[in-house]
Structure 1
Amino acid sequence: MTSHQSFSPDGRPRARALGTDLQGQPGLWNAITDVPGVAVGYQTLIEGEGPLRVGAGPVRTGVTAILPRGRSGLGRPCTAGRYSLNGNGEMTGSAWIDEVGQLSGPVTISNTHAIGASHTGTIQWINATRPDLTDEWLLPVCAETWDGYLNDINGGHVTPEIVGAALDSAQSGPLQEGSIGGGTGMNCYAFKGGNGTASRLIEFGAHTYTVGVFVQANFGSRRELTIRGRRVGEQLAVDNPMETTEWGSAPHRIPAAPGGAGSVIVIIATDAPLDPLQCTAMARRVPLGLARTGTTGSIFSGDLFLAFSTAPDHSSDTGFPHGAPTIGELVPTVRMPWNRMDSLYTAVVEAVEESVLNALLVNADMTGRDGHRSPALPHDRLRDLLAGK
């Protein structure tokens, strides 16, 4: 086992370092970036403390950018499919993915009220990075979860320029997790949440394919949290301010999110050759991985999932929709046999579960607007519980 599989780049322990007994074989970095070509970038905004002043802070937010084929592959489509467990959220561009089963640009993830800035920033960045595509229409994929408990969410702190900087920073390699990028102000199971990632290797004949998962985790109530089949949330010796905070008298002050609410975005990447229906089938397995961590899927949680395949084939080589076959030319495709999909489904479920745990564990306490506080999940107490103490 490599150190990156169990520890973050800054040395903090991930789920595998804390006795969680996770199944499956991870890739080198145990991250979505184990899928060849996938690059991830962040911009993190943390500033100020004390009472909320809209437009001034405190700020606890950011942007995550995922380039499915890296910068060099911009505009070259991947087959794709998506699934909505609960629609109280936003993922732009999904109607076109449903229509043609392709994803041809970056994915950005931020806070709920930054969708407009993310959309504009992505278009500006593509036009600056690939001026040869400036005559094409663009439908960026921008997703969100709500960080208003800790962040000045109405303050407009995520700008198109910040989004462009996140896209510019995207690279391969091991990833930071927790309170970074779009996950900066997020909470999960009434602990500090945010970003988590994991991967699995899949053997198929002479080939080894990779399934990578990236999660922006902002969901679940304390009583639901389950690790290694044990309900541990209420046994962890940490207070629970997020489920006891009440309305305040200050203008624009808001209460903590209802138990279970918040949202979760999950992005799945693989280099296995899949068609759009198979990508959608993988996205439908995400709830099984989330359920292993305890959630029952609150109506106030927007749970949106996207899966794509970076496998090369003649259909993606055409560059559609930025190019098309000549009249009369058929487009061949290559895909996994349906009766061999189970190993990929298993990989999704295992990697989603591990990604959520990594988002919780690679983290620290955070205090945000109006003194709202999100405590980190305590490692020592978790170790004791998992050891039966």
Structure 2
Amino acid sequence: MPSRVRELGVVPGSLPTGPLNAITDVPGIRVGQTTIDDGGDLHTGVTAIVPDGYAAGLPAAIAVGNGYGKLVGSTQVDELGVLETPVLLTGTLSVFRVADALLTWLLDRDPTATSLNPVVGETNDGFLSDIRRRPITPQHVFDALDSASTDLPAEGCVGAGTGTSALGFKAGIGTSSRAVTGGTVGALVQSNFSGTLTVLGTPIHRDPVAEPEGNSCMIVVATDLPLDARQLGRLARRAIFAMARVGSDYSPGSGDYAIAFSTARTGEGMQDRLLRNVFHAVTESTEEALLNSVTMAHTVTGFGGNTQYAVPLELVAERGQDS
């Protein structure tokens, strides 16, 4: 049965987690998801990260590990250091439909808006889902946004992670958090990248099978610490660094992105010398979120009869016992 890595005895890092060990431990962060799974050719969906106060603009930054992807809205975030919409994740060829539906949802809530910068990321779930059908409808997007809550988000084969794979196994959505002095750092990931699954420094190999190369990772980092856009860029880069901890090979066909934002609109950042534990919090929470995205997933047979198998949890548990 799928389990979070802590339930298997695997504890990445040393910092304490928040109460849910999830991005929703950050005050004002809600997550909603819509899953499309017809038991056959369609395994895809939408994941929405909805921060309070986005309409007023939140300090934000984006880091690009490898730019082989379609991250709608990234250049304006780079230019202004501001996030002004929820962050949505989906499958590659649906990203533009999701962005358009997000705009509709936002315009319905602000009759005076004349310019908005939707931020929508993606990974390619075409190995298990018929990606050319682009099955995401506006209602799927609306449902993800309207259902967003502060509860523990579902992980594994749900939302934007329904059809994704990572590190040789079925993967999906994962989340984790860390508590630091003055606030919380949380991460949510959509895992869909290649490499060798590595748990606390020990690799878990699998027999070679047909699987996609690369195909990307989206990482969303949220915090309530008073960080400015420059400092959030430093956090975003460290989130991408954390992919190495779980065995990413950073394939040339992989689009690896991290979006970091703060719900504290103070306009002034912390002193850089105080960021050491914040950096640890980002790498630890991202590492654990990535591992959860794998251990919470189940075996899926999808488009064209392709199958991606769940990781044997007993192997993961052994790594926890060895640490």
Q: TM-score range by the shorter chain?
A: over 0.9
Distance 1:240 1:47, change over 3 A: farther
CA distance in 2, matches of 1:381, 1:138: 47
Residue number in structure 2 paired with 1:63: 46
2:5 maps to 15
Matches of 1:373 and 1:342, distance apart in 2: 42
Match of 1:156 in 2: 134
- Residue deviations 1:173-228, cap 9 Å, x none? 2111000000100001121111000000011xxxx31000010000123xx22111
Contact 2:59-2:82 at 8 Å conserved across structures? yes
- Structure 2 residue 144 is the aligned partner of structure 1 residue 166: yes
Q: Which residue of 1 is the match for residue 106 of structure 2?
A: 126
SS at 1:105's partner residue? coil
Q: 1:278 to 1:366 in 2, by over 3 A?
A: same
Residues 48 and 18 (structure 1), Cα distance of their counterparts in 2 relative to 1, 3 Å cut: closer
Residues 91, 143 of structure 1: 8 Å contact kept: yes
Structure 1 position 161, deviation (Å): 2.1
Q: Aligned partner of 1:99: which letter?
A: E
Name the aligned partner's letter for residue 37 of structure 2: I
Deviation of residue 334 (structure 1)? 2.4
- Displacement after TM superposition at 1:287 (Å): 2.5
1:384 Cα offset (Å): 3.3
Structure-2 separation of matches of 1:114 and 1:67: 19
> Helix, strand or coil: the match of 2:44?
strand
Encode CA deviations 1:266-324: one digit per residue, 9 max, x unaligned.
000000001110010111111321111111211100001110010132xxxxxxxxxxx
Partner of 1:93: 73
Q: Distance in 1 between matches of 2:268 and 2:319?
A: 47
- Aligned-residue offset at 1:48: 4.2
Whether the 8 Å CA contact 2:8–2:317 is kept in 1: the answer is yes
Equivalent residue in structure 1 for 2:186, among 207, 212, 217: 212
- CA distance in 2: counterparts of 1:118 and 1:263, whole angstroms: 18
2:313 maps to what in 1?
379
Q: For 1:349 and 1:356, how far apart are their aligned partners in 2?
A: 11
Per the normalisation by structure 1, the TM-score is 0.80
Q: CA deviation at 1:12?
A: 4.8
Q: State how far apart, in whole Å, the 2-side matches of 1:386 and 1:201 are.
A: 22
CA–CA separation in structure 2 for the residues paired with 1:132 and 1:226: 49
RMSD: 1.5
Question: Does the 8 Å contact 1:145/1:262 carry over to 2?
Answer: yes
Instruction: State the shift of 1:158 in Å.
Output: 0.7
1:100-119 per-position Cα deviation (integer Å, ceiling 9, x unaligned): 10001111100000111111
Distance in 2 between residues matched to 1:66 and 1:76, nearest whole Å:
16
Amino acid paired to 1:40: V
Tell me how far 1:16 sits from its aligned partner: 0.7
Among residues 264, 274, 285, which one is paired with 1:311 in the alignment?
A: 264
Q: Secondary structure at the match of 1:75?
A: helix
State the match for 2:287 in structure 1: 353
Residue 106 to residue 281, structure 1, CA distance change in 2 (3 Å): same
* Runs of 4+ deviating beyond 3 Å: 384-388
For 1:198, which of 176, 187, 194 is the aligned residue?
A: 176
What pairs up with 1:1-389 in 2 under 5 angstroms?
12-23=2-13, 24-49=15-40, 58-69=41-52, 73-128=53-108, 130-133=109-112, 135-203=113-181, 208-221=182-195, 224-234=196-206, 239-241=207-209, 243=210, 256-258=211-213, 261-313=214-266, 333-387=267-321
Distance of aligned partners of 1:385 and 1:35 in 2 relative to their CA distance in 1, 3 Å threshold: closer
**Amino acid of the structure 2 residue aligned with 1:117:** R
SS of the residue corresponding to residue 215 of structure 2 reads coil
Deviations 1:50-82 (A, max 9, x none): xxxxxxxx110000011121xxx3412110011
Partner of 1:325: none
Query: How far apart are 1:386 and its partner, in Å?
Result: 4.4
Gap regions ≥5 residues in structure 2: none
SS at match of 2:121: strand
Q: Which structure 1 segments of 5+ residues have no match?
A: 1-10, 50-57, 244-255, 314-332
Number of equivalent positions:
321
Matches of 2:249 and 2:164, distance apart in 1: 19
Larger Rg: 1
| Preserved CA contact (<8 Å) 2:54 2:83 | no
